[in-house]
Chains A and B, each alone.
Chain A
Amino acid sequence: MSISARGVRKLYVTRRRETLALDRVDLDIATGEFVAFVGPSGCGKSTLMNMVAGILAPSEGTILHDGRPVTGINQRVGYMTQADAVLPWRTARENVELPLRLRGVGRAARAAKAAETLAAVGLTGFDNAFPAELSGGMRKRVALAQLLAYGPGTLLLDEPFGALDAQLKLVMQELLLRIWEKAGQTVIFVTHDLGEAVTLAQRVVVFSARPGRIKLIEPIALPRTGRDPFRTRFAPEFERAYSRLWEALAPEIAREEEVVA
Protein backbone atom coordinates (compact mmCIF):
# COMPACT_ATOMS: atom_id res chain seq x y z
CA MET A 1 0.00 0.00 0.00
CA SER A 2 1.29 3.41 -0.86
CA ILE A 3 -1.10 5.48 1.26
CA SER A 4 -3.31 4.34 4.12
CA ALA A 5 -5.66 6.34 6.31
CA ARG A 6 -6.53 4.60 9.58
CA GLY A 7 -9.44 5.90 11.65
CA VAL A 8 -8.71 9.51 10.68
CA ARG A 9 -10.71 12.28 12.33
CA LYS A 10 -10.16 15.99 11.97
CA LEU A 11 -11.67 18.50 14.33
CA TYR A 12 -11.25 22.22 13.65
CA VAL A 13 -11.49 24.17 16.88
CA THR A 14 -12.10 27.90 16.85
CA ARG A 15 -13.11 30.11 19.76
CA ARG A 16 -16.72 30.09 18.63
CA ARG A 17 -17.25 26.42 17.81
CA GLU A 18 -15.83 23.06 16.93
CA THR A 19 -16.25 21.66 13.45
CA LEU A 20 -15.84 18.00 12.69
CA ALA A 21 -14.39 18.04 9.17
CA LEU A 22 -13.57 14.34 8.81
CA ASP A 23 -14.91 11.42 10.79
CA ARG A 24 -13.57 7.84 10.97
CA VAL A 25 -12.00 7.71 7.53
CA ASP A 26 -10.29 4.47 6.47
CA LEU A 27 -8.81 4.26 3.02
CA ASP A 28 -6.06 2.32 1.24
CA ILE A 29 -4.48 3.49 -1.99
CA ALA A 30 -2.21 1.10 -3.90
CA THR A 31 1.15 2.12 -5.34
CA GLY A 32 0.68 3.50 -8.84
CA GLU A 33 -3.06 3.93 -8.41
CA PHE A 34 -4.96 7.01 -9.61
CA VAL A 35 -7.68 7.89 -7.11
CA ALA A 36 -10.06 10.84 -7.26
CA PHE A 37 -11.82 12.41 -4.26
CA VAL A 38 -15.21 14.04 -4.87
CA GLY A 39 -17.73 15.50 -2.49
CA PRO A 40 -19.61 18.68 -1.62
CA SER A 41 -17.55 21.67 -0.54
CA GLY A 42 -16.41 21.46 3.06
CA CYS A 43 -16.56 17.64 3.09
CA GLY A 44 -12.92 17.32 4.05
CA LYS A 45 -11.53 15.91 0.80
CA SER A 46 -8.82 18.58 0.62
CA THR A 47 -8.25 18.17 4.36
CA LEU A 48 -7.45 14.49 3.90
CA MET A 49 -5.09 15.29 1.03
CA ASN A 50 -3.35 17.97 3.09
CA MET A 51 -2.85 15.40 5.84
CA VAL A 52 -1.06 13.14 3.38
CA ALA A 53 1.10 16.14 2.47
CA GLY A 54 1.77 16.67 6.19
CA ILE A 55 0.47 20.25 6.09
CA LEU A 56 -2.30 19.29 8.53
CA ALA A 57 -2.20 16.69 11.30
CA PRO A 58 -5.13 14.39 12.01
CA SER A 59 -6.88 14.91 15.35
CA GLU A 60 -7.15 11.14 15.71
CA GLY A 61 -5.90 8.22 13.69
CA THR A 62 -2.87 7.96 11.42
CA ILE A 63 -1.85 8.45 7.83
CA LEU A 64 0.73 6.01 6.51
CA HIS A 65 2.80 6.75 3.42
CA ASP A 66 4.84 3.77 2.20
CA GLY A 67 4.31 2.18 5.60
CA ARG A 68 5.64 5.13 7.60
CA PRO A 69 3.35 7.46 9.53
CA VAL A 70 3.25 11.04 8.21
CA THR A 71 4.22 13.31 11.09
CA GLY A 72 5.47 16.52 9.47
CA ILE A 73 5.80 18.01 5.99
CA ASN A 74 5.95 15.03 3.63
CA GLN A 75 8.84 15.58 1.22
CA ARG A 76 8.20 12.40 -0.75
CA VAL A 77 5.16 13.80 -2.52
CA GLY A 78 4.46 16.33 -5.24
CA TYR A 79 1.79 18.90 -4.46
CA MET A 80 -0.28 21.07 -6.74
CA THR A 81 -3.35 23.17 -6.04
CA GLN A 82 -5.89 25.26 -7.89
CA ALA A 83 -4.08 28.42 -6.82
CA ASP A 84 -0.77 28.91 -8.57
CA ALA A 85 2.11 27.92 -6.32
CA VAL A 86 4.91 28.58 -8.79
CA LEU A 87 6.98 31.39 -7.31
CA PRO A 88 6.24 34.63 -9.20
CA TRP A 89 9.78 35.98 -8.72
CA ARG A 90 11.41 32.99 -10.42
CA THR A 91 11.37 32.34 -14.15
CA ALA A 92 9.80 29.13 -15.48
CA ARG A 93 13.22 27.47 -15.59
CA GLU A 94 14.20 28.69 -12.13
CA ASN A 95 10.93 27.34 -10.75
CA VAL A 96 11.49 23.95 -12.32
CA GLU A 97 15.06 23.90 -11.02
CA LEU A 98 14.07 24.86 -7.47
CA PRO A 99 13.21 21.37 -6.13
CA LEU A 100 16.43 20.04 -7.68
CA ARG A 101 18.43 22.82 -6.11
CA LEU A 102 16.82 22.13 -2.74
CA ARG A 103 17.91 18.51 -3.16
CA GLY A 104 21.49 19.50 -3.89
CA VAL A 105 21.57 18.74 -7.64
CA GLY A 106 24.44 20.49 -9.46
CA ARG A 107 23.96 23.43 -11.81
CA ALA A 108 24.53 21.63 -15.10
CA ALA A 109 22.33 18.67 -14.18
CA ARG A 110 19.60 21.07 -13.07
CA ALA A 111 19.66 22.98 -16.34
CA ALA A 112 19.53 19.79 -18.38
CA LYS A 113 16.62 18.38 -16.36
CA ALA A 114 14.71 21.67 -16.54
CA ALA A 115 15.09 21.86 -20.32
CA GLU A 116 13.95 18.25 -20.63
CA THR A 117 10.84 18.59 -18.44
CA LEU A 118 9.83 21.98 -19.87
CA ALA A 119 9.95 20.34 -23.29
CA ALA A 120 7.88 17.41 -21.98
CA VAL A 121 5.04 19.77 -20.98
CA GLY A 122 5.29 21.78 -24.20
CA LEU A 123 6.94 24.90 -22.83
CA THR A 124 10.15 25.00 -24.87
CA GLY A 125 11.17 28.61 -25.46
CA PHE A 126 9.49 29.95 -22.31
CA ASP A 127 12.40 29.15 -19.98
CA ASN A 128 13.07 32.75 -19.05
CA ALA A 129 9.47 33.92 -18.77
CA PHE A 130 8.19 34.96 -15.37
CA PRO A 131 4.84 33.43 -14.30
CA ALA A 132 3.08 36.78 -14.74
CA GLU A 133 4.06 36.67 -18.42
CA LEU A 134 2.47 33.23 -18.90
CA SER A 135 -1.19 32.24 -19.28
CA GLY A 136 -3.01 30.27 -16.57
CA GLY A 137 -2.61 27.03 -18.51
CA MET A 138 1.10 27.64 -19.03
CA ARG A 139 1.60 28.22 -15.31
CA LYS A 140 -0.04 24.83 -14.71
CA ARG A 141 2.43 23.35 -17.18
CA VAL A 142 5.32 24.90 -15.25
CA ALA A 143 3.96 23.34 -12.03
CA LEU A 144 3.72 19.95 -13.78
CA ALA A 145 7.26 20.30 -15.14
CA GLN A 146 8.39 21.04 -11.59
CA LEU A 147 6.80 17.79 -10.36
CA LEU A 148 8.37 15.88 -13.23
CA ALA A 149 11.79 17.36 -12.52
CA TYR A 150 12.19 15.87 -9.08
CA GLY A 151 9.94 12.90 -9.77
CA PRO A 152 8.11 12.19 -6.49
CA GLY A 153 6.39 8.78 -6.47
CA THR A 154 3.15 10.27 -5.17
CA LEU A 155 1.26 13.25 -6.59
CA LEU A 156 -1.29 15.16 -4.53
CA LEU A 157 -3.38 17.31 -6.83
CA ASP A 158 -6.08 19.56 -5.36
CA GLU A 159 -8.35 20.77 -8.17
CA PRO A 160 -5.23 21.60 -10.17
CA PHE A 161 -7.18 22.53 -13.30
CA GLY A 162 -10.15 24.07 -11.48
CA ALA A 163 -9.43 27.60 -12.63
CA LEU A 164 -9.00 26.73 -16.32
CA ASP A 165 -11.67 26.94 -19.01
CA ALA A 166 -13.38 23.73 -20.17
CA GLN A 167 -11.28 23.11 -23.30
CA LEU A 168 -7.96 23.86 -21.64
CA LYS A 169 -8.97 21.56 -18.80
CA LEU A 170 -9.29 18.65 -21.26
CA VAL A 171 -5.87 19.43 -22.73
CA MET A 172 -4.28 19.45 -19.28
CA GLN A 173 -6.07 16.23 -18.29
CA GLU A 174 -4.64 14.60 -21.38
CA LEU A 175 -1.14 15.79 -20.45
CA LEU A 176 -1.52 14.52 -16.89
CA LEU A 177 -2.73 11.10 -18.08
CA ARG A 178 0.26 10.72 -20.42
CA ILE A 179 2.65 11.71 -17.61
CA TRP A 180 1.03 9.22 -15.24
CA GLU A 181 1.02 6.38 -17.80
CA LYS A 182 4.73 6.90 -18.36
CA ALA A 183 5.91 7.28 -14.75
CA GLY A 184 3.20 5.38 -12.87
CA GLN A 185 2.96 7.64 -9.83
CA THR A 186 0.38 7.16 -7.10
CA VAL A 187 -2.08 10.00 -7.61
CA ILE A 188 -4.70 11.57 -5.36
CA PHE A 189 -6.79 13.98 -7.41
CA VAL A 190 -9.29 16.16 -5.56
CA THR A 191 -12.02 17.67 -7.73
CA HIS A 192 -15.64 18.78 -7.64
CA ASP A 193 -16.01 17.91 -11.31
CA LEU A 194 -17.48 14.40 -11.46
CA GLY A 195 -16.71 14.04 -15.18
CA GLU A 196 -13.07 14.90 -14.55
CA ALA A 197 -12.90 12.31 -11.75
CA VAL A 198 -14.34 9.52 -13.93
CA THR A 199 -12.16 10.46 -16.92
CA LEU A 200 -8.92 10.32 -14.97
CA ALA A 201 -9.23 7.97 -12.02
CA GLN A 202 -9.23 4.23 -11.53
CA ARG A 203 -11.26 4.64 -8.36
CA VAL A 204 -13.48 7.52 -7.28
CA VAL A 205 -14.08 8.14 -3.58
CA VAL A 206 -17.30 10.00 -2.70
CA PHE A 207 -17.28 11.94 0.57
CA SER A 208 -20.45 12.80 2.48
CA ALA A 209 -21.34 16.33 3.53
CA ARG A 210 -19.80 17.49 6.82
CA PRO A 211 -18.72 15.65 8.86
CA GLY A 212 -16.90 14.05 5.94
CA ARG A 213 -17.11 10.28 5.77
CA ILE A 214 -16.44 7.98 2.85
CA LYS A 215 -19.82 7.23 1.35
CA LEU A 216 -18.92 5.26 -1.73
CA ILE A 217 -15.81 3.97 -3.49
CA GLU A 218 -16.53 3.37 -7.17
CA PRO A 219 -14.04 1.50 -9.36
CA ILE A 220 -14.05 2.89 -12.90
CA ALA A 221 -14.30 0.15 -15.53
CA LEU A 222 -12.50 2.15 -18.23
CA PRO A 223 -9.11 0.85 -19.41
CA ARG A 224 -6.14 1.93 -17.28
CA THR A 225 -4.10 3.28 -20.16
CA GLY A 226 -4.88 5.06 -23.40
CA ARG A 227 -7.82 7.04 -22.03
CA ASP A 228 -8.72 10.09 -24.06
CA PRO A 229 -10.35 12.93 -22.08
CA PHE A 230 -12.00 14.17 -25.29
CA ARG A 231 -13.75 10.84 -25.97
CA THR A 232 -14.10 8.75 -22.78
CA ARG A 233 -17.18 10.68 -21.83
CA PHE A 234 -19.08 8.93 -24.63
CA ALA A 235 -18.15 5.42 -23.42
CA PRO A 236 -20.98 3.41 -21.79
CA GLU A 237 -18.70 2.64 -18.80
CA PHE A 238 -18.29 6.36 -18.27
CA GLU A 239 -22.04 6.92 -18.21
CA ARG A 240 -22.69 4.04 -15.82
CA ALA A 241 -20.00 5.17 -13.37
CA TYR A 242 -21.10 8.79 -13.68
CA SER A 243 -24.74 8.06 -12.83
CA ARG A 244 -23.88 5.76 -9.91
CA LEU A 245 -21.57 8.44 -8.51
CA TRP A 246 -24.12 11.16 -9.08
CA GLU A 247 -26.77 9.17 -7.15
CA ALA A 248 -24.39 9.02 -4.20
CA LEU A 249 -23.26 12.62 -4.49
CA ALA A 250 -26.52 14.49 -5.18
CA PRO A 251 -28.13 14.01 -1.73
CA GLU A 252 -24.86 15.12 -0.10
CA ILE A 253 -24.81 18.32 -2.10
CA ALA A 254 -28.43 18.92 -1.12
CA ARG A 255 -27.50 18.31 2.52
CA GLU A 256 -24.58 20.74 2.29
CA GLU A 257 -26.97 23.35 0.89
CA GLU A 258 -29.24 22.89 3.93
CA VAL A 259 -26.33 23.28 6.32
CA VAL A 260 -25.32 26.51 4.63
CA ALA A 261 -28.91 27.80 4.50
Chain B
Amino acid sequence: MSGLVQQAAGIGTEAPALSPASAALAAADARHRWFVLGARVVVGIAFLLLWHVASGNWIDTLLISSPEAVAGRLWRWLIDGTLWFHLSITLLATVLGFAIGSAVGFSTGLLFGRFNTLADIFDPYISALYSIPKIALAPLFIIWFGIGIESKVAVSAAIVFLVIFLNTYAGVREVNPLYINTTRIMGGGQWAVLRHVIVPSAAAWVITGLKVSVPYALVGTVIGEFMSANRGIGFLIAQATGLFNTTSVYAGIVVLAVVGAVINTGLKHFESWVLRWRP
Protein backbone atom coordinates (compact mmCIF):
# COMPACT_ATOMS: atom_id res chain seq x y z
CA MET B 1 0.00 0.00 0.00
CA SER B 2 2.63 2.52 1.02
CA GLY B 3 4.72 1.34 -1.94
CA LEU B 4 1.87 2.24 -4.27
CA VAL B 5 1.55 5.67 -2.69
CA GLN B 6 5.26 6.26 -3.14
CA GLN B 7 5.06 5.15 -6.73
CA ALA B 8 2.13 7.45 -7.40
CA ALA B 9 4.00 10.34 -5.79
CA GLY B 10 6.97 9.61 -8.03
CA ILE B 11 4.97 10.17 -11.19
CA GLY B 12 5.05 13.71 -12.40
CA THR B 13 7.87 14.89 -10.14
CA GLU B 14 10.91 16.21 -11.99
CA ALA B 15 13.61 13.87 -10.68
CA PRO B 16 12.71 11.46 -7.89
CA ALA B 17 15.74 11.13 -5.58
CA LEU B 18 15.33 7.36 -5.41
CA SER B 19 13.27 5.20 -7.71
CA PRO B 20 11.00 2.66 -5.95
CA ALA B 21 13.17 -0.17 -7.30
CA SER B 22 16.44 1.19 -5.91
CA ALA B 23 14.72 2.12 -2.63
CA ALA B 24 13.56 -1.49 -2.36
CA LEU B 25 17.10 -2.65 -3.07
CA ALA B 26 18.52 -0.38 -0.37
CA ALA B 27 15.91 -1.65 2.11
CA ALA B 28 16.78 -5.26 1.27
CA ASP B 29 20.46 -4.45 1.82
CA ALA B 30 19.73 -2.92 5.21
CA ARG B 31 17.59 -5.90 6.22
CA HIS B 32 20.38 -8.26 5.25
CA ARG B 33 22.92 -6.31 7.36
CA TRP B 34 20.69 -6.36 10.43
CA PHE B 35 19.99 -10.05 9.96
CA VAL B 36 23.72 -10.85 9.82
CA LEU B 37 24.42 -8.72 12.88
CA GLY B 38 21.57 -10.33 14.82
CA ALA B 39 22.65 -13.84 13.80
CA ARG B 40 26.19 -13.08 14.97
CA VAL B 41 24.97 -12.07 18.42
CA VAL B 42 22.80 -15.19 18.60
CA VAL B 43 25.74 -17.45 17.68
CA GLY B 44 27.89 -15.81 20.35
CA ILE B 45 25.25 -16.18 23.06
CA ALA B 46 24.52 -19.78 22.02
CA PHE B 47 28.22 -20.59 22.34
CA LEU B 48 28.42 -19.05 25.81
CA LEU B 49 25.26 -20.90 26.87
CA LEU B 50 26.58 -24.21 25.58
CA TRP B 51 29.84 -23.60 27.42
CA HIS B 52 27.96 -22.73 30.59
CA VAL B 53 25.77 -25.85 30.44
CA ALA B 54 28.66 -28.17 29.52
CA SER B 55 30.83 -26.91 32.34
CA GLY B 56 30.51 -29.18 35.35
CA ASN B 57 27.63 -31.19 33.83
CA TRP B 58 29.22 -32.85 30.79
CA ILE B 59 32.86 -31.87 31.09
CA ASP B 60 35.02 -31.37 34.17
CA THR B 61 35.24 -27.71 35.17
CA LEU B 62 38.97 -28.17 35.61
CA LEU B 63 39.27 -28.66 31.84
CA ILE B 64 37.00 -25.99 30.43
CA SER B 65 36.34 -23.66 33.37
CA SER B 66 33.10 -21.72 32.76
CA PRO B 67 32.17 -18.46 31.04
CA GLU B 68 31.10 -16.75 34.26
CA ALA B 69 34.35 -17.73 36.01
CA VAL B 70 36.42 -16.43 33.08
CA ALA B 71 34.44 -13.18 33.01
CA GLY B 72 34.91 -12.84 36.78
CA ARG B 73 38.65 -13.44 36.45
CA LEU B 74 38.93 -10.81 33.70
CA TRP B 75 37.02 -8.34 35.81
CA ARG B 76 39.28 -8.96 38.82
CA TRP B 77 42.39 -8.55 36.68
CA LEU B 78 40.99 -5.33 35.30
CA ILE B 79 40.25 -3.98 38.79
CA ASP B 80 43.47 -4.97 40.55
CA GLY B 81 45.76 -3.83 37.69
CA THR B 82 47.00 -7.33 36.79
CA LEU B 83 45.59 -7.01 33.28
CA TRP B 84 47.34 -3.77 32.43
CA PHE B 85 50.57 -4.83 34.14
CA HIS B 86 50.89 -7.88 31.86
CA LEU B 87 49.08 -6.57 28.78
CA SER B 88 51.20 -3.41 28.55
CA ILE B 89 54.44 -5.36 28.23
CA THR B 90 52.97 -7.79 25.67
CA LEU B 91 51.58 -4.89 23.63
CA LEU B 92 54.85 -2.99 23.81
CA ALA B 93 56.86 -6.01 22.65
CA THR B 94 54.37 -6.74 19.86
CA VAL B 95 54.28 -3.15 18.62
CA LEU B 96 58.06 -2.79 18.77
CA GLY B 97 58.60 -6.12 17.01
CA PHE B 98 56.02 -5.23 14.42
CA ALA B 99 57.51 -1.77 13.83
CA ILE B 100 61.13 -2.92 13.65
CA GLY B 101 60.32 -6.00 11.55
CA SER B 102 58.17 -4.12 9.07
CA ALA B 103 60.55 -1.15 8.74
CA VAL B 104 63.56 -3.38 8.06
CA GLY B 105 61.51 -5.75 5.87
CA PHE B 106 60.07 -2.89 3.83
CA SER B 107 63.45 -1.26 3.18
CA THR B 108 65.21 -4.49 2.27
CA GLY B 109 62.25 -5.46 0.09
CA LEU B 110 62.57 -2.16 -1.80
CA LEU B 111 66.32 -2.59 -2.13
CA PHE B 112 66.12 -6.17 -3.41
CA GLY B 113 63.23 -5.31 -5.70
CA ARG B 114 65.29 -2.60 -7.36
CA PHE B 115 68.55 -4.54 -7.63
CA ASN B 116 67.96 -7.87 -9.34
CA THR B 117 71.49 -9.14 -8.87
CA LEU B 118 71.20 -8.74 -5.12
CA ALA B 119 67.96 -10.73 -5.17
CA ASP B 120 69.52 -13.43 -7.35
CA ILE B 121 72.47 -13.82 -4.98
CA PHE B 122 70.40 -14.03 -1.80
CA ASP B 123 67.49 -16.04 -3.21
CA PRO B 124 68.48 -19.52 -1.86
CA TYR B 125 69.32 -18.11 1.57
CA ILE B 126 66.00 -16.33 1.83
CA SER B 127 64.16 -19.50 0.79
CA ALA B 128 66.03 -21.39 3.49
CA LEU B 129 65.28 -18.71 6.07
CA TYR B 130 61.64 -18.74 5.04
CA SER B 131 61.28 -22.46 5.61
CA ILE B 132 62.63 -22.32 9.19
CA PRO B 133 59.75 -22.23 11.68
CA LYS B 134 60.62 -18.84 13.18
CA ILE B 135 59.44 -20.04 16.57
CA ALA B 136 62.57 -22.22 16.59
CA LEU B 137 64.58 -19.02 16.86
CA ALA B 138 62.93 -18.06 20.16
CA PRO B 139 65.27 -20.07 22.48
CA LEU B 140 68.26 -18.62 20.64
CA PHE B 141 67.00 -15.08 21.07
CA ILE B 142 66.45 -15.70 24.77
CA ILE B 143 70.12 -16.74 25.06
CA TRP B 144 71.18 -13.64 23.12
CA PHE B 145 68.92 -11.03 24.61
CA GLY B 146 67.93 -12.42 28.01
CA ILE B 147 64.46 -12.95 29.44
CA GLY B 148 63.49 -9.27 29.24
CA ILE B 149 61.40 -7.58 26.56
CA GLU B 150 64.30 -7.57 24.04
CA SER B 151 64.05 -11.29 23.26
CA LYS B 152 60.28 -11.05 22.65
CA VAL B 153 60.75 -8.05 20.38
CA ALA B 154 63.40 -10.01 18.49
CA VAL B 155 61.13 -13.03 17.96
CA SER B 156 58.21 -11.03 16.63
CA ALA B 157 60.46 -8.74 14.57
CA ALA B 158 62.08 -11.78 12.93
CA ILE B 159 58.70 -13.20 11.96
CA VAL B 160 57.27 -9.91 10.73
CA PHE B 161 60.46 -9.04 8.84
CA LEU B 162 60.25 -12.03 6.51
CA VAL B 163 56.58 -11.57 5.69
CA ILE B 164 56.93 -7.86 4.95
CA PHE B 165 60.19 -8.33 3.11
CA LEU B 166 58.76 -10.95 0.74
CA ASN B 167 55.56 -8.98 0.14
CA THR B 168 57.38 -5.71 -0.53
CA TYR B 169 59.78 -7.49 -2.86
CA ALA B 170 56.91 -9.04 -4.81
CA GLY B 171 55.12 -5.67 -4.90
CA VAL B 172 58.15 -3.85 -6.29
CA ARG B 173 58.63 -6.50 -8.98
CA GLU B 174 55.00 -6.10 -10.00
CA VAL B 175 55.21 -2.36 -10.73
CA ASN B 176 54.09 -1.54 -14.24
CA PRO B 177 57.23 -0.36 -16.13
CA LEU B 178 55.06 2.03 -18.15
CA TYR B 179 54.42 4.06 -14.97
CA ILE B 180 58.14 4.22 -14.30
CA ASN B 181 59.00 5.29 -17.85
CA THR B 182 56.34 7.98 -18.10
CA THR B 183 57.23 9.38 -14.68
CA ARG B 184 60.89 9.57 -15.67
CA ILE B 185 60.02 11.24 -18.99
CA MET B 186 57.89 13.78 -17.09
CA GLY B 187 61.03 14.77 -15.20
CA GLY B 188 61.27 12.30 -12.32
CA GLY B 189 64.61 11.01 -11.00
CA GLN B 190 65.22 7.79 -9.07
CA TRP B 191 63.81 9.21 -5.84
CA ALA B 192 60.69 10.58 -7.48
CA VAL B 193 60.05 7.23 -9.16
CA LEU B 194 60.49 5.44 -5.83
CA ARG B 195 58.22 7.83 -4.00
CA HIS B 196 55.47 8.43 -6.56
CA VAL B 197 55.39 5.12 -8.40
CA ILE B 198 57.07 2.20 -6.68
CA VAL B 199 55.98 2.72 -3.07
CA PRO B 200 52.32 3.49 -3.81
CA SER B 201 52.16 0.67 -6.33
CA ALA B 202 53.64 -1.82 -3.88
CA ALA B 203 51.39 -0.52 -1.08
CA ALA B 204 48.69 -3.11 -1.72
CA TRP B 205 51.17 -5.94 -1.27
CA VAL B 206 52.78 -4.33 1.76
CA ILE B 207 49.45 -3.83 3.51
CA THR B 208 48.44 -7.42 2.86
CA GLY B 209 51.75 -8.36 4.46
CA LEU B 210 51.05 -6.11 7.44
CA LYS B 211 47.64 -7.67 7.96
CA VAL B 212 49.03 -11.19 7.77
CA SER B 213 51.88 -10.42 10.17
CA VAL B 214 49.87 -8.84 13.02
CA PRO B 215 48.86 -12.19 14.49
CA TYR B 216 52.42 -13.42 13.87
CA ALA B 217 53.86 -10.53 15.83
CA LEU B 218 51.53 -11.34 18.70
CA VAL B 219 52.37 -15.04 18.46
CA GLY B 220 56.10 -14.26 18.46
CA THR B 221 55.82 -12.20 21.62
CA VAL B 222 53.60 -14.68 23.42
CA ILE B 223 55.82 -17.64 22.50
CA GLY B 224 58.78 -15.72 23.88
CA GLU B 225 56.81 -15.08 27.06
CA PHE B 226 55.82 -18.76 27.32
CA MET B 227 59.42 -19.82 27.21
CA SER B 228 60.86 -17.47 29.72
CA ALA B 229 59.61 -14.25 31.18
CA ASN B 230 58.37 -12.70 34.39
CA ARG B 231 55.71 -10.47 32.88
CA GLY B 232 53.25 -10.46 29.98
CA ILE B 233 50.07 -12.24 28.91
CA GLY B 234 52.08 -15.21 27.65
CA PHE B 235 53.76 -15.48 31.06
CA LEU B 236 50.37 -15.22 32.76
CA ILE B 237 49.00 -18.09 30.65
CA ALA B 238 52.10 -20.24 31.14
CA GLN B 239 52.04 -19.67 34.90
CA ALA B 240 48.32 -20.49 35.12
CA THR B 241 48.88 -23.64 33.07
CA GLY B 242 51.54 -24.75 35.56
CA LEU B 243 49.00 -24.36 38.35
CA PHE B 244 46.16 -26.08 36.41
CA ASN B 245 44.29 -22.79 36.69
CA THR B 246 42.24 -23.12 33.50
CA THR B 247 40.10 -20.09 34.30
CA SER B 248 43.18 -17.84 34.07
CA VAL B 249 44.36 -19.65 30.94
CA TYR B 250 41.05 -18.95 29.22
CA ALA B 251 41.03 -15.37 30.45
CA GLY B 252 44.52 -14.86 28.98
CA ILE B 253 43.45 -16.37 25.66
CA VAL B 254 40.42 -14.07 25.53
CA VAL B 255 42.68 -11.07 26.08
CA LEU B 256 44.94 -12.15 23.20
CA ALA B 257 41.97 -12.70 20.89
CA VAL B 258 40.59 -9.24 21.64
CA VAL B 259 43.97 -7.58 21.13
CA GLY B 260 44.45 -9.33 17.76
CA ALA B 261 40.96 -8.38 16.59
CA VAL B 262 41.40 -4.73 17.60
CA ILE B 263 44.74 -4.40 15.78
CA ASN B 264 43.33 -6.08 12.67
CA THR B 265 40.31 -3.78 12.59
CA GLY B 266 42.64 -0.78 12.81
CA LEU B 267 44.69 -2.11 9.91
CA LYS B 268 41.56 -2.68 7.83
CA HIS B 269 40.64 0.99 8.21
CA PHE B 270 44.20 2.00 7.36
CA GLU B 271 44.04 -0.21 4.27
CA SER B 272 40.82 1.23 2.96
CA TRP B 273 42.28 4.71 3.39
CA VAL B 274 45.62 3.99 1.65
CA LEU B 275 44.00 2.01 -1.17
CA ARG B 276 41.02 4.36 -1.57
CA TRP B 277 41.96 4.82 -5.24
CA ARG B 278 40.95 1.26 -5.97
CA PRO B 279 37.57 0.71 -7.59
Residues of A within 8 A of B (CB): 53-55, 73-75, 77-79, 81, 83, 85, 87-91, 98-99, 102-103, 130-133, 146, 150
A74 and B185 contact, CB distance less than 8 A? yes
Task: Say yes or no: is B277 at the interface (Cβ < 8 Å to chain A).
Answer: yes
B277 and A103 contact, CB distance less than 8 A? no
Report the separation of the CA atoms of residues A73 and B184 in the bound assembly, to the nearest whole angstrom.
7
B196 and A150 contact, CB distance less than 8 A? no
Q: Hey, which chain A residues are within 8 Å of B203, CB to CB?
A: 89
Contacts A88-B277, A132-B279 known; list 20 others, CB within 8 Å. Answer: A53-B185, A54-B185, A73-B185, A75-B186, A77-B185, A78-B185, A79-B182, A81-B178, A85-B178, A85-B181, A85-B182, A89-B200, A90-B196, A98-B183, A98-B186, A102-B186, A102-B188, A131-B277, A132-B278, A150-B186
Q: Hey, which chain B residues are within 8 Å of A78, CB to CB?
A: 185
CB distance from B61 to the nearest CB of A (A): 55
Report the separation of the CA atoms of residues A150 and B192 in the bound assembly, to the nearest whole angstrom.
16
Chain B residue at minimal CB-CB distance from A131:
B277
Task: Say yes or no: is B245 at the interface (Cβ < 8 Å to chain A).
Answer: no
Residues of B within 8 A of A (CB): 178-179, 181-188, 192, 196-197, 200-201, 203, 276-279
CB distance from B272 to the nearest CB of A (A): 13
Name, among A75, A83, A87, the residue most crowded by chain B CB atoms within 10 Å (CB to CB): A87
Report the separation of the CA atoms of residues A260 and B130 in the bound assembly, to the nearest whole angstrom.
45
Q: From known contacts A132-B277, A132-B279, infer whether A55 and B187 are also in contact, taking CB-CB under 8 Å.
A: no
Q: Hey, which chain A residues are within 8 Å of B200, CB to CB?
A: 87, 89
Chain B residue at minimal CB-CB distance from A104:
B187
Total contacts A-B at CB 8 Å: 60
Report the separation of the CA atoms of residues A53 and B178 in the bound assembly, to the nearest whole angstrom.
12
Q: Hey, which chain B residues are within 8 Å of A98, CB to CB?
A: 183, 186, 196
B186 and A55 contact, CB distance less than 8 A? no
Report the separation of the CA atoms of residues A54 and B197 in the bound assembly, to the nearest whole angstrom.
19
A85 and B187 contact, CB distance less than 8 A? no
Q: From known contacts A87-B179, A89-B201, infer whether A146 and B277 are also in contact, taking CB-CB under 8 Å.
A: no
Report the separation of the CA atoms of residues A103 and B192 in the bound assembly, to the nearest whole angstrom.
11
A73 touches which of B181, B196, B276, B277 (Cβ 8 Å): B181
B197 touches which of A87, A99, A103, A133 (Cβ 8 Å): A87
B187 and A79 contact, CB distance less than 8 A? no
CB distance from B93 to the nearest CB of A (A): 33
A102 and B201 contact, CB distance less than 8 A? no
Report the separation of the CA atoms of residues A132 and B188 in the bound assembly, to the nearest whole angstrom.
23
Q: Hey, which chain A residues are within 8 Å of B278, CB to CB?
A: 88, 132
